[in-house]
Amino acid sequence: MSKLVTIFGGSGFVGRYIARRMAKEGWRVRVAVRRPNEAIFVRPYGAVGQVEPILANIRDDASVAAAIAGADAVVNCVGVLTERGKNKFEAVQAEGAARIARLAAEAGVGQLVHLSAIGADAGSDSDYARTKAEGEAAVLNSFPGAVILRPSVIFGTEDEFFNRFAKMTKLGPVLPLVGGESRFQPVYVDDVAKAAVAGVLGQAAPGVYELGGPDVESLHDLMVKMLKVIRRRRLIVNLPFWVGSVMAFGFGAMQALTVGLIHNGILTRDQVRQLRRDNVVGEGAKGFADLGIEPTDMDAVLADYLWPYRPGGQYSDLQASARNLKNT
């Protein structure tokens, strides 16, 4: 019988790419999510019955244990960018990660891959970064042979980075940024999936790997690149951090006053704290080269999924050709 991998958060942005690749490797894939009915799109990744979404809540021991039962390997992709309801940074990224690692070790799982983030720091003033570090420590405490992946900002068709800013360009002629000079090393989502698969297959030595793409650019320069791809002109305004903090406070207050009915998915105070630091691979850190993976350049991918934000959408090239003919 083929081996089984349980992927917590396997229908999410990164998880779905890992699930697809593991199915291609011939493994049975158990996609552990809170809402399996919303994850049925993963089933066609493999043969009938090869990829199955199941119910799991990483805040509950019994639920996690049931999802892990019988698995040869476990991948944890669960994380939150902003807190909402019971999904707090501490509960998901620290306690949840610890629970998965502890129960995986007790179940005798052979391989554990944990998705963290560049910038994980136990001493950080950012709750996101601090709980990422706490999660890593807990994972290694229970499962010393784990492979921990720390990607920089991840880009790809379903990302919440370039897509988010591209949507903002439709709102007006100005594109405001907080932390415009902060540096990032964007990494392609399928390259992160390749790294995770290497960990599952035992092709990666235990330890921490920092994953970044071939280019290091400021947030401002990344927005310039995006604007060229979507063929829009916008005035990029770099806002001081104190302005960002005030804006984030206002958005947070709005969420609190509406008792969460209006979710602050725009900018939080914790994100402002994160933006004060560069998000790049550290000097001497293990990375893609140690995994035998050549990272994908942004220029090879961005136009493939950002074209809907062009003024003419899918017809932008046709419209440009028509204008050229008219001018000749």
In the chain, the domains with their CATH numbers are 4-158+184-215+278-295 (3.40.50.720)
d(CA 97, CA 240): 34
What are the CA-CA distances from residue 265 to residues 26, 77, 251, 252 (Å)? 38, 20, 9, 9
Nearest alpha carbon to residue 36 among 17, 5, 10: 10
Burial annotation 187-205 (CB, 10 A radius, 16+ → b, else e): bbbbbbbbbbbbbbeeebe
Q: Are 56 and 34 in contact (CB under 8 A)?
A: yes
Would you write out the chain's pLDDT as a tens digit for each of its 328 residues?
699 999 999 999 999 999 999 999 999 999 999 999 999 999 999 999 999 999 999 999 999 999 999 999 999 999 998 888 888 999 999 999 999 999 999 999 999 999 999 999 999 999 999 999 999 999 999 999 999 999 999 999 999 999 999 999 999 999 999 999 999 999 999 999 999 999 999 999 999 999 999 999 999 999 999 999 999 999 999 999 999 999 999 988 888 787 676 777 789 999 999 999 999 999 999 999 999 999 999 999 999 999 999 997 766 666 666 666 666 6
Please report the pLDDT score of residue 264 as a whole number: 72
Please report the pLDDT score of residue 318 as a whole number: 61
d(CA 134, CA 117): 12
3-state secondary structure 31-47: EEECCHHHHHHHHHHCC
